[in-house]
Amino acid sequence: MKSGSIPTVSAFALCCGVGATLGLALWASNATPPSTLFGTPTTLVPVVSGERPTGFRSTTADSNPKAPETRPIALSTASSPSAMEVATLVAGLLRGGARNPAAPTPEEAFRLLQSDVEKSIFLIHSTFAYESRDLDGSWIRHTSSTWGTAFVAHRDGYLMTNKHLVAPWKFDTELCALVSTNDVKIVRESTVISAWPAGTRCLDDKKQPLPGTGFSTIAGTLHLVAEAPDSFALRTGDSERSDSAVKVHALDDADLAILRIDSRDYPALQLASEADEAKLSKLCPVMTVGFPRGNGGLEGNRAETSASTGALRKAEATLHVTTPIIAGNSGGPLITPDGRVVGIATRIYSETLGIGIRIRHARALLEEAIVVDRITSAAIVAPK
């Protein structure tokens, strides 16, 4: 046989194979309950890109909750599989697989998951002020804002999102160049972060944010708990006043932040384990849920989510996906059909190439942040 050629199978051998397989399946159907013949019925477990900040250029794309209802998937409720089910199984075996014909396709699974997933999704808005030096030497204050997504990662109200949503000035090349030449000062204490649960009112009639309708740092109901350690890279500044490379936050796995809301009423999504991540491979289907274009993508005044599906292009240090990720999706979850979060939508290179941070990095940050936050909170409330 030539290398790379497909071996031929005689009609007799093929018929014998079909007959033997069909006969075995029919014999088993009379002697074996469906749960053992077809495997234990499985159960579905329901479980970047930020909007570009206004005012300067962005280098980024910009109590115990009730458990979600699960839906068992089985071939049949009869005492034995039907002939059609047996035939379907045989056809699947001949194609090289034994997929349960009653199991949903990835798209069907995502449709089942979507309504449960959005209960854990939050719209994020942050503002901060910076001052620029005028020609006469005085300082003029400006305000910039950005929009993105976050999701509940722990039942105690901890949200995962991207750092470039809570500290966007670190990622902007032009702004960093002006800071390096002392032409701009960042007023960090002016930062205000707001979060609205999906489906709740977030905008007034003029499409301006309503911090009082959600959780907010200014109201003390939203807290910035942790950021991944800063990681800087040298880039050429876009400002005419800067001819050399400037230090800007790298577009890497350190683009992560943890927030906490003062509520336990929102269910946490299930984070993929190390074993789950090890199973990721090219073309695995994924879904992301978030707020593309931030408030610009909202037709009304409520935080209505937008979902999209695609597949993994590759899973290496980061996740490359075909799932459309648009500015405003930053911080949103990348979810597999079984409802596990395998990554966080972070940035884009084209309409069909989105980048996600693997969940292992966010999981490690979350575990550390919870410990530190609980110790800090206990110290604050402890009697003196």
Q: Could you read off the pLDDT of 228-239 as tens digits, one per residue?
A: 999 989 887 554
Domain CATH code at residue 241:
2.40.10.120
Tokens matching residue 41: 């019925």
CA–CA distance, 377 with 374 (Å, rounded to integer) = 5
pLDDT beyond 90 at 8 = no
Residues 319 and 261 in one domain: yes
Q: pLDDT digits over 22-55, tens only? A: 343 434 444 433 333 223 333 333 334 555 444 4
pLDDT band for position 184 (cuts 50, 70, 90): very high
- Residue carrying the six token digits 């088993």: 28
**Cα dihedral 283→49→221→342 (10° resolution):** 20
Residues 125 and 24 in one domain: no
Q: Do 304 and 316 contact (CB within 8 A), yes or no?
A: no
Residues 235 and 128 in one domain: yes
Residues 83 and 189 in one domain: no
For residue 55, tell me if it sits in a domain.
no
Q: pLDDT digits over 302-355, tens only? A: 999 999 999 999 999 999 999 989 999 999 999 999 999 999 999 888 777 899
If one compares 1 and 253, the residue with the highest pLDDT of the two is: 253
User: Among 143, 26, 186, 153, which Cα is nearest to 90's?
Assistant: 26
Residues 151 and 208 in one domain: yes
Residues 35 and 161 in one domain: no
For residue 65, tell me if it sits in a domain.
no
CA–CA distance, 47 with 311 (Å, rounded to integer) = 19
pTM of the model as a whole: 0.73
Q: Which domain holds residue 252?
A: 120-379
For residue 254, tell me if it sits in a domain.
yes
Q: Do 67 and 181 contact (CB within 8 A), yes or no?
A: no
Q: How buried is 120 (Cβ within 10 angstroms: 0-12 exposed, 13-18 middle, 19+ buried)?
A: buried
pLDDT, mean of residues 155-160: 97
Residues 129 and 88 in one domain: no
CA–CA distance, 267 with 156 (Å, rounded to integer) = 9
Residues 166 and 28 in one domain: no
For residue 341, tell me if it sits in a domain.
yes
Give the chain's domain count. Answer: 2
pLDDT beyond 90 at 266 = yes
If one compares 212 and 157, the residue with the highest pLDDT of the two is: 157
Q: Do 257 and 89 contact (CB within 8 A), yes or no?
A: no
